[in-house]
Chain A
C-alpha cells in the first residue's frame, strides 16, 4: 500500500518534465482557462485556471520578472521551497451530488509546502515554513500568520510531491485554519497576482459581489519548481492560480433553468488577456450539460476518454472570438428546453466511487468521538489512506482507534473490523503540537468503513478562549486518499500537466484521488464569561481563604499552654532566643499568670455549655469544653 504511491509518482513525474520541455530558455508563458460544468441538483461549477510558466534558467534571472509576480520569484530566492499550495475556501464540496472537483480544497485556509535543498535541517524548515506563511498572510490578506508549530504537521505518506525531487532531503509541512472566513479581501490581492490583473481576460469576470454569492468558492495558489536533470540553473517555475466556484441556480429565483455568463458573473466577457498565450472556455456537454442548448453555438468540440469515461467539451477560443477589432462583450447562454419545468431535474446522479463524511459523536463537554466514514461504492476493493490533524486542545486516545465496516446498504455498524495496513501516529503535546494520525487500509467494494477515535476535551486557560468562546473550537478536516482504477467522475489534472486540456485523454493505470472531509466544531468546556462567573470566582476565593482556618479548627487540638513572652529589651530578646528551650524566666512566669486569667475568661464564655455537660449523667467535668467539641467533630467525620 505504502509502496504503491511512490512508484506511481516517480512514473508520473518523469512525464511531467517532458511536458515542460517545450518551453525554451527564458520563455515565460501565461494561459487562462475557464471550465463550465453543469452539475446535478441545479448547480453549475465554473473553474478558472491561470497558469504562468517561466523557464528562468539562471537563478539570478529571478530578479527580473515579467509575467510571474515578483513575490513568487523572491520566494524561490529566500526559501528552499519547491512546491507550495494555498487554498482559501468557503463552503464544502458535496461529493455525492457534484462528483469530484478539479482542484481539492478544504473549507477555511489550507497550506502545504515541500522544501528541498542542501543542508536543510528540520529546525530550519520550521523557521522557513513560518516565514513563508507570514509572507502569504500579507500577500493574500489571510490569517495564514496563525500557522505555526501548534497546528502544523509533517505528513508522512499522504501528501506526495509534484516536483522532481533533487538529491537533497525533502521536507513537507501542512497546516489548515478551518476558522478562516474567505471574503472579498482575499480575492482582490489574489487577482493582483495575475499579469492582466482584473482589467481584462477571464479575471474580469471575478467580481466579488457575484463570487461570494455562490454555494462554494475556493481560491487556490500553487507554485512548483521543475528542474531538469537536477540542475539548479535549468528550472521552470510554474504558478497556477485557480478559482473554483459552484453556483446554485435556485438562488437566482428564475422561472426556468437557463443561465449565462452574464447572469453568473454580472457581466459578459470583455475580451482576453493580451498577455495570454491561450484563452479558452470549455463547456461540458454530456451528463448534466446534455439538456442545455448553447448560444452562441460552439465552433469546436473535444471528446476525451479517460479511464473508460468519456466527456464531451465544447471549446470557445477567445482569440478567435475577439479577432475583429471593436469593443463588445462576449456572453454564453445555456438554454434549458422550454418544456422542462424548473422542478423536473430530480434524476439522482450516480454516486462517485469513494465518498467521505466526518462528524463528532457523543454529547457533553467532557469527551466525544471523532468519526470518519468512508464509503466505497465501487465494486472492487480500494486502498484508502486517511490523514487526521487533531489540535492540541483535544486529547486523542490511540488505543480507541478502530475501523468498523458494514455493507453499504445496511444502516448500522456491527462488530466487524478492518485491519490497519499502515499506522503512523505522532502524539500531540499540550499547547505545542497537534496529534497527527495517518492510517492506511483496504476497503472492500460496496462497503463503508467507520473510523472512530475517542477524544477528551481540554479545559483551556481563560486567556486561550477566542472572543466568541461559546462558538466552539474547530478541528480541521481530514484528508482521505485513494487510487481509483477508473476515471469516472475524476476530473483532476494529471500531476505532469499544467493546463486543463492536459487532462484530456490522460488515461493512466490509476488515478490518485484525495478528498477532504467536513471540519468539526467542538464545544470545549467553557466557563460563563459573565458577571456570575466573576462572582463565582470571588466566592471560591473567599471559601478557599476560609477553609484553612476551619480545617485547622476542626482537626487540630488546641491547647492553651504557657508561652514564653518576648522581653522588650533588645539584648534580652537575643538572649531569650538563644535560651528559648531553657527554663522560663521570672518575667515569663509573670506573663503566664496573665495568660491564665485570659484562659479562665474563655472558659467562662462557654460556661453554659459546660454547665449542661456537667448536668448530664456521666458527662465529663466541665473544664475542657474545647476538647469536647473537637472530639465531636471527629466523630462526625466517621
Chain B
C-alpha cells in the first residue's frame, strides 16, 4: 500500500473532491482527520473510512478561523501523534461581477480558501519540517491560471493558492526540510456539488441566465475542456494520492492540471 500508516488531514473532506481524496488515502493505508464545516457529512465519511479498516477523526471546523484550526491541530496530534499529509481542499464560491459584488461575499471567499490554507499550513507544516518528512497538497483550480468571469474572488483565491504552494515549497527547503514537498492541484470542472449540486454553478447560471442546466452545459462548460466532460472526483483523488506517495518525492512547487485539456500551462 502506498500510504501505509500515514496520517492525513483533509479539509473539505465531507463531500466531493475531499471525500474522494480521503477514501483514496484510506484505501492505501492512511488514517484520516476528516475536517469540514459540515459535521454530519464528516461523520458519514469517517464511517466509510472505518469500514476500510482505518482510523478516522471527524472534525467540524471553519478553516477561516485560526482558533478553530489550532484546536483541530491539537486534537489531531493528540489522537494520531503526528501528521504526514495535509490536503487543504475546503473551498466555496460566491459568484458575482466584481463591480457589483458584496464586499463581505467577496472577502469570505478569500478568507475560506486563502486564509484557510494559510492557517492549516501554519498549524501542520512545522511538524513536517521537524521530521523532515511530509506532503502538503493544496486544491487550487484551473481558475488559478485563467480568467473566471463573474467569479473574481474565486479566481483571485485560486491564483493565490498557487503562490502559496510555490513559496512554501521553497521555504521548507530553506528550513532544511528537503523531505517535505508542497504542490497544488488544478482540477478542471468536476462533478461535485460545487458544479452540479442544487446550489452549484450549473443551477446558479441556469437561474441567472434563464436557460436550462443542459443549455448551460452546452453553451458555457462543454467547450471548456478538450474532452467535453466533467472530471470525476476520483481523478483528482488519484493525483493527490500520487503526490502523497513516495513516487512523487521529487515533485515540489508544482501546480498540476487535471482538467481534460482545459488549459495547458
Q: Do A and B come from one complex?
A: no
By a beta-carbon cutoff of 8 Å, the part of chain B in contact with chain A is none
